Structure 1
């Protein structure tokens, strides 16, 4: 009878394998001490990745690097401090390319096409001293992304020029350019993100390459609006203008007005600029 039932049972091309939530949670536990990493715009081999991450991240324990699909690597840590160092002390740059560092999550490759998260530091310049409060700074970080850490120097008020906070942000979404508190507007500066579009507010391309907001110029003989893309060329002399400034200059030379070429919501203040150290001159 049982044999006949099995024979008559319809073929299932996709059988469901039963897994309880408790079982799944137990299987995930070993990977909570793992990070998912990927280079932005560069492919590297397992040996190179393992060598560089061991050099930069391993202080006390060991790491196990596993190469995954879509140029991702899974890095498992034996020491919690090494894990925290890798996640929180970035951004990391290897071979002049930024490294996306994400906390491991189940089925991360399934959602990889729509989610690109990275741990990033941002600053709040000229923050009033009365707002150097752990609770307030935590609220700010939560408004920018997923809160991770407040810089210790910020917490003890020793960094008087700006507050510094680490959050996990989604690079496919717009970056928050400002915050408002007690009637004042304070700018947000992002460390290490040097490719922010001032048109759409996203990371990964410049304004003249933005596909979401077209740059329009008044004075077109056809409809009054024409696009004026400006391409950046390698090897331009120092002091040459590119991007938004190049578009603005081109419009001025043509005697026309640029429309929507530099939205007020986003701007160069969003990128932390490296301070140039002056060379010391020897006293005679």
Structure 2
């Protein structure tokens, strides 16, 4: 810009002059040497000062290729955060998200995973020691203080106690409203790479002190070797590969040949009839239940040939298992049936369909009353009720779900759907009435999308709700262990269903993987079976525990839920 008439032109300044004017030489750190390299050092106070503007920053990690930044920004704009935020590209798999408001920071972090244009993004807290090859061990974890005195269930007090475990993030609504004085729940920032604190000491003024137990609801497994979530150090595949690499480097003469052991599969498969069903034969085809009733079990003395099928052979209509159940055609591989399924032809359900489902359930109950159920299923159900000591039971023809209950429980089957059974249960000793949904999810994403839509409608009631069963999908990548990458779209669908319906997924005691299978790339472990509950169900109990028991002959592990209420002097 030209200087006004009569004024002197400003002197020209170099970049070094501008820099020296904005900073004094005393602000520069003195140069040092470290292992022969020029070095500079910053104190912890300096690092904290520089990192202050990133106190609400998160790192988003994409498992595969990430979408364009324009699509990511558009998705974040549609989420509707309350304040401003910035999105920056760190590398081809990581983005930096910096929020102005703490509420937006917590909302994004507590969700843990986000689906953006079909790509699953996991969220981690940014720390000054961030490295793209490592995942931050600091995660949000819900903890519970069971039996905390009522006068200490104040937000300021709970934050002070929780700060002994980690930086507190938020208190759940039931604790704030004092609807559940038996337990106080708070979410904290927890470093899972350190030793956990199981109890803290609280000085209660002149009334003395006491030891308060700390219960962690779910702690994701974290490997201290590769610094990633999903497994422990003892299960790290990176260490196994390193050991294999060291073995390959040994001289051939020093290696001891191992004996090859072939382990047969748990199920025996036999070839079905060579007749292939055509569309003209479809109306005359018998349902799968007919296979169960007509199949004659082999005698103990009979010796059937043991046939191991080809690992690449499709398990469609050409194979029948040793229990006479015909497998439905599927493009997915055994042990990982949800990979690659697309969300196509999904029906949109409305609340008006709930009445039609209930009507169909009543018709099914009338069918059971008329003794038209398959004889094999009826006889087997009665046999199991007698052998296991239950008083009654129910066997679904559509979903293959069986329910057994004791004499102190009243069960009314409200709805029998293709993928779940809805019941109203009354636990007589407590006079506790709640809705129970037994789930057996299908193997494809399209069919499970219908399950999420139906369950969301049923969950709209006012009763406490408990869901349980084989959902046939995981809710996060930490619930999967294997060499292949699972279907991230299915994971996002299930995670959104849990979040949208405000369901609680408690941590388990024992092995977190409930399902095991063999994939084309090797064995896989997943958490397919679980209990989910709403806050109204959780608030009834002072203590709820979910235990994963040992697997026996099945490829799924049984899970056991136990609960107690100190205010009720009755059995659990």
TM-score using structure 1 length: 0.50
Cα RMSD (Å)? 5.0
Q: What is the aligned partner in structure 2 of residue 91 from structure 1?
A: 111
**Cα shift at 1:189:** 1.9
Q: In 1, distance between residues paired with 2:104 and 2:139?
A: 17
Matching of residue 189 in structure 1 with residue 217 in structure 2: yes
Q: What is the aligned partner in structure 1 of residue 187 from structure 2?
A: 166
Structure 2: gaps (5+ residues): 1-34, 202-209, 223-227, 237-265, 267-333, 339-399, 401-439, 441-468, 471-513, 517-546, 562-572
Matching of residue 233 in structure 1 with residue 335 in structure 2: yes
Tell me: CA distance 1:98–1:71, structure 2 relative to 1, closer, same or farther (3 Å). Answer: closer
Of 74, 82, 87, the residue aligned with 1:59 is: 82
Of 164, 167, 171, the residue aligned with 1:146 is: 167
Q: In 1, distance between residues paired with 2:149 and 2:49?
A: 46
Contact 1:100 1:118 survives alignment (8 Å):
no
Q: In 1, distance between residues paired with 2:44 and 2:234?
A: 43
Q: What is the aligned partner in structure 1 of residue 141 from structure 2?
A: 120
Matching of residue 106 in structure 1 with residue 128 in structure 2: yes
Tell me: CA distance 1:109–1:148, structure 2 relative to 1, closer, same or farther (3 Å). Answer: same
Q: What is the aligned partner in structure 1 of residue 66 from structure 2?
A: 44
Tell me: CA distance 1:67–1:249, structure 2 relative to 1, closer, same or farther (3 Å). Answer: same
Contact 1:115 1:172 survives alignment (8 Å):
no
Of 235, 256, 275, the residue aligned with 1:211 is: 235
Matching of residue 73 in structure 1 with residue 126 in structure 2: no
Contact 1:116 1:172 survives alignment (8 Å):
yes
Q: Which is greater in Rg?
A: 2
**Cα shift at 1:168:** 1.2
Contact 1:33 1:76 survives alignment (8 Å):
yes
Contact 1:38 1:99 survives alignment (8 Å):
yes
Contact 1:121 1:166 survives alignment (8 Å):
yes
Q: In 1, distance between residues paired with 2:70 and 2:122?
A: 16
**Cα shift at 1:65:** 0.7
Of 499, 509, 515, the residue aligned with 1:242 is: 515
**Cα shift at 1:141:** 2.6
Q: What is the aligned partner in structure 2 of residue 82 from structure 1?
A: 104
Contact 2:58 2:98 survives alignment (8 Å):
yes
Q: What is the aligned partner in structure 1 of residue 394 from structure 2?
A: none
Structure 1: gaps (5+ residues): 1-11, 213-229, 252-266, 270-284
SS of the residue corresponding to residue 52 of structure 1 reads: helix
Q: Deviations over 1:136-184 (max 9, x none)?
A: 53355335433333335423413457432111123445767x6588578
SS of the residue corresponding to residue 154 of structure 1 reads: helix
Tell me: CA distance 1:27–1:203, structure 2 relative to 1, closer, same or farther (3 Å). Answer: closer
Q: In 2, distance between residues paired with 1:159 and 1:148?
A: 20
Q: Deviations over 1:191-247 (max 9, x none)?
A: xx7x669xxxx96249xx9628xxxxxxxxxxxxxxxxx9x9334984676369674
Matching of residue 16 in structure 1 with residue 36 in structure 2: no
SS of the residue corresponding to residue 39 of structure 2 reads: coil
Of 13, 32, 57, the residue aligned with 1:34 is: 57
Quick one: higher RCO (CA 8 Å, sep 6+), 1 or 2?
1
Tell me: CA distance 1:173–1:91, structure 2 relative to 1, closer, same or farther (3 Å). Answer: farther
Q: Deviations over 1:8-46 (max 9, x none)?
A: xxxx9732357788876664444334333335x455233
**Cα shift at 1:68:** 1.1
Q: What is the aligned partner in structure 2 of residue 5 from structure 1?
A: none
Q: What is the aligned partner in structure 1 of residue 325 from structure 2?
A: none
Q: In 2, distance between residues paired with 1:27 and 1:184?
A: 37
Tell me: CA distance 1:185–1:137, structure 2 relative to 1, closer, same or farther (3 Å). Answer: same
Q: In 2, distance between residues paired with 1:33 and 1:186?
A: 27
Equivalenced residues, count: 210
Tell me: CA distance 1:242–1:55, structure 2 relative to 1, closer, same or farther (3 Å). Answer: same
**Cα shift at 1:74:** 1.0
SS of the residue corresponding to residue 75 of structure 2 reads: helix
TM-score using structure 2 length: 0.29
